[in-house]
Every structure is written in C-alpha cells, then in structure tokens.
Amino acid sequence: MRVFNFSSGPSALPLPVLEQAAREMPDANGTGQSVMEMSHRSKEFSAIIGETEALIRELMGIPDNYRVLFLQGGASLQFAMIPLNLGAVEPGAARKNAAFVETGVWAKKAAAEASKYLDARTLASSADREYTCIPAAPKPAPDAAYYHVTWNNTIVGTKWTIYPDTGAVPLAADISSCILSEPLNVSRFGILYAGAQKNLGPAGTTVVIIRDDLIGRAPSWVPVMLRYDTHAEEGSRYNTPPCYGIYMIGLVLKWLKAAGGLPAMAKINAEKAELLYTYLEQSRHFRSPVEKTARSLMNIPFVPVESGAAKRKEIEERFVREAAAAGLVNLAGHRLVGGMRASIYNAMPVEGVKALTAFMARFEAGL
Ligand SMILES: Cc1ncc(COP(=O)(O)O)c(C=O)c1O
C-alpha cells in the first residue's frame, strides 16, 4: 500500500512515473537495456537528455539565451559554484561583492559559502522574526557580482512573491523546493538552481538554468568540474552525468506536461495549500507560524498552540506517530525548528491533503 508521503525531500514522486520507470527498468524503449546501463554518449541517452532539456525549457518557458545544465553535488554545491563563477577573481585582483537576503538556513549557507570567495553582504534578514516572513529587499551595490535569494524556504515555509529589483545585478535564486510548482518569469533571473529531490526526480541531479552572458566568467584557478563553461560547452556531459536521474526527471516532466503544465500545477498547488491553511485558521490546537503574505505553497509548517514546551513536544511526537500509523508519513518538522511540516509538492494529490486535514480533525477531537 502506498502512503501519503509529506517528506520535504527526497519526496514523493508521481505513481505513474514510478510505474513507468519500473516497466522500463530492464528494457528502456526497446533498446534491450536499462537506462542505468547505457553509455552516456550513446544515441539512446542523447535522446533522453535532449528530450528532458526540451521539456524543461517548454514547461518553464526558458528563453533561448539561457542554458540548462544537469549537474551533481546538490543545491549545496551551487552555494559555492555561483560565487566561484560569478564573483571570484584572479590572485591579487580586488575582491568583488555579492548581495544576500537571509530568509533561513539555506540562504545563510549560500552566503557563508560565498564569503570564502568574495565580500558577501547580507542586505536584509528575517532572522529576528524567526524567518517567518520575507524581508523587504534593498537594492544591491551596482557593482555586486550577483544578488542571491532562496525563493522558497523549505524549512520555515516561506516564499518570495515579488521579484526584487536588482538593477543590472544578476538575480540568483535557489528554487530547490518550488521549481515547476507554478509559473516563474525566468527572464528576471541570471541563474536559477534546484536539487532534483523535491519536485523533479530522485536525489543526485541538480538543474541549473543560467543566462549565456554569465557563463565563462570564472577565474583560471577554478577547478574544471566547478565551472559552468565546462558543463555548458559539453552539454552537461563533460564527465558521466547522473544518467538515470536525468531520465527520471524526463518522466516527471512528461507527467507534468500531460497534467496541464505549470498553470494546472499552480492551480492544484494553490488548492492544496488553501485546504491546509484554511484548516489551520480554524484549528483550536494548531497554527501556522508563517506570516500570511509569505506563505509557501510547497512546505507548510504548523505548531501546537500549547504554551508549555514539554506539552508541545508531547503533542508533536504523538501527532507524528499516529499520523504515520494512519498512512500519513514524514510529518515531523525540520530538526532545527521542530513542530510539524507538511511538504505538499507537485506529486502530492489533493486527496493526500484532505486525508491530512481529516486526520488532524480526529486528532484534535482526542486532545
Ligand atoms: C531551499 C533548499 N536549498 C538547498 C538545499 C540543499 O540541497 P541539497 O541537499 O541538494 O544540497 C535544500 C534541501 O532541502 C533546500 O530545501
């Protein structure tokens, strides 16, 4: 029996995708081989990576002057690759600066990693509000190498809703936990990146969408594998890419296209989020800690209203345990913030959220 999996990542994949992958496991598309066994330079795999890129371009409306790269190292490696490629300088040259907005743990990590290679300036932070809102975004210095934001904050459940005005400074955004969840104007960004393990496919692939003019800026000392020009010139096949993961992303994208693409996804995602937020509004025992204007569609944390810490913890543990027994798994909040969190990515059906709110009502009745 399949459970409703509310994990923040790796997370649930659409069942038809898993079933298709299972069918094609020993013999993909009449080739007599699994995709896992194919040479990454074969014509069969070339067709897979080509189709996957074409689909992501079509679904996201990626303009022609952007490259799509399939890399490894997770979103975390992009915290280093972006400064290494856009802001690092040759030895002896004056250090550059880059701008950051601190909206949570991942945003902070991106700035900390960048500070090894440039002057990382945090222009605004919502740390004093426990990251429950998105702060107003000040303009960067005109000579900033880039301006970094975490578009959807997986742990605290906030998201950006307005594109910050960065002037001519390229906007870099971590869209790991919201890629393909709703339309995004790619042309407002210089670079976008996402680890695959939430809305795209299995862990192991990172999708990077980068504007042409930002490629080829890395100083000579940056290792070959960490340079965007290396991967752009070689069509993401400078070395062996995560072939099976790319194939799985392709299957997810086909599923998404058949479901109506991003406008349809946005509608379903809004409906799912609305169900849960509306439930929380009327709940006597749980509440959303996030400011209304900044609420994520993908990650919805909630906490007991109880004021005593010990009692709160007891309720949380019981909730997570009993929910799991009812087939609703991975509802514990991130270890850094506690509480509960429902991650309701594209693959989570409306029925999963309805099952969750029904369980919450039963649970509350027993408190
Ligand atoms: C917004 C965001 N950025 C970065 C990461 C780190 O991603 P990875 O594990 O792919 O390095 C995560 C992981 O959950 C995330 O949610």
Buried b (16+ CB within 10 A) or exposed e, 181-218: bbebeeeebbbbbbbbbbbbbbbbbbbbbbbeebbebb
Instruction: Give, for all 367 residues of the chain, the pLDDT tens digit.
Output: 899 999 999 999 999 999 999 999 999 999 999 999 999 999 999 999 999 999 999 999 999 999 999 999 999 999 999 999 999 999 999 999 999 999 999 999 999 999 999 999 999 999 999 999 999 999 999 999 999 999 999 999 999 999 999 999 999 999 999 999 999 999 999 999 999 999 999 999 999 999 999 999 999 999 999 999 999 999 999 999 999 999 999 999 999 999 999 999 999 999 999 999 999 999 999 999 999 999 999 999 999 998 899 999 999 999 999 999 999 999 999 988 889 999 999 999 999 999 999 999 999 999 8
242 and 274: one domain? Answer: no
231 and 301: one domain? Answer: no
126 and 150: one domain? Answer: yes
**Cβ atoms 281, 162 nearer than 8 A:** no
41 and 120: one domain? Answer: yes
Return the HEC string of 196-222: CCCCCCCCCCEEEEEEHHHCCCCCCCC
287 and 184: one domain? Answer: no
Indicate which atom in ligand 1 lies nearest the CA of residue 9.
14
What CATH number should be reported for the domain holding residue 43?
Answer: 3.40.640.10
310 and 172: one domain? Answer: no
Among 96, 106, 159, 160, which one carries the catalytic annotation?
106
Q: Which of 258, 291, 312 represents a domain boundary (last residue)?
A: 258
224 and 79: one domain? Answer: yes
**Cβ atoms 49, 244 nearer than 8 A:** no
Q: Ligand 1 mean position to 105 CA, how many Å?
A: 10
54 and 102: one domain? Answer: yes
34 and 169: one domain? Answer: yes
Among 96, 108, 159, 198, which one carries the catalytic annotation?
198
Q: What residues make up the domain containing 341? A: 4-11+261-365
Q: Which of 225, 241, 258 represents a domain boundary (last residue)?
A: 258
**Does residue 204's CB lie within 6 angstroms of at least one atom of ligand 1?**
no
Q: Taken in order 259, 261, 265, 267, is the CA torsion positive or negative? A: negative
What CATH number should be reported for the domain holding residue 301?
Answer: 3.90.1150.10
**Does residue 75's CB lie within 6 angstroms of at least one atom of ligand 1?**
yes
39 and 173: one domain? Answer: yes
284 and 254: one domain? Answer: no
Catalytic site includes residue 255: no
Half-sphere exposure of 130 (CA within 13 A, CB side): 10
The candidate with the shortest Cα–Cα distance to 184, out of 2, 59, 271, 19, is: 59
151 and 199: one domain? Answer: yes
Q: Ligand 1 mean position to 322 CA, how many Å?
A: 28
State the Cα–Cα distance between residues 247 and 22, nearest whole angstrom. Answer: 13
Q: Which of 258, 290, 316 represents a domain boundary (last residue)?
A: 258
Strand partners, 329: 5
Indicate which atom in ligand 1 lies nearest the CA of residue 206.
10
Catalytic site includes residue 106: yes
State the Cα–Cα distance between residues 311 and 187, nearest whole angstrom. Answer: 48
Q: Looking at the 3D structure of the chain, how many domains does it have?
A: 2
